[in-house]
Amino acid sequence: MSALVFIFIGIALGAALVGAYLLGRERGRMRAIDEVARTMAPQIMGKRERREGERSQAEMAVVGETETNADGKARQDIILELRPGEDVDLLRERGDGSEPNAVRVVSRLGEIGRLSRADADTIAPYLDGGGRVSASIAHINGGTSTNSTFNVVLSVVAMEG
């Protein structure tokens, strides 16, 4: 009977270690996304000097790509069919009390995620003030033996007028 207890304890410890690893990996990813947002925010908001004719542009990471949409479609399946250069829409989500600046990312095939909180905090006031942007898929990471999850990075360009 004591061997069974040791096996159970071993399984519980293993599950706790795997959970801690996955949580740490996600937190590290979010910190990296936030850092990119902080460094790219001046570009998208036009707070640096631009040459004549140059438009504000930034790369922004999509989060929530592993979730399933309300219609039952897995976002990873949608992303699998998308290609760099394809246009996407950035839609303000005003009903989310926990994230008042939430911005959904929707492709021609359905929602693929949302902007990270830092990126949304940067671009939502711009959109709310009547600013327009053009967004497309800059690149899709992952889908490898070491990282099977697809992650999307957008190219976002502030439109004039």
CA distance 103 to 105: 7
Structure tokens at 107: 């492709």
Domains of the chain: 2-159 (3.30.70.2330)
Residue 79 one-letter amino acid? I
CA distance 106 to 71: 14
**40-76 pLDDT, tens digit each:** 555 555 554 544 444 578 899 999 999 999 999 999 9
Inter-residue contact 61 to 122 (CB < 8 Å): no
Average pLDDT over residues 126-151: 87
Residue 98 one-letter amino acid? S
Task: Report residue 98's pLDDT band, with 50, 70 and 90 as the boundaries.
Answer: confident
This prediction's pTM:
0.65
pLDDT of 135 higher than 90:
yes
> How many residues in the chain?
161
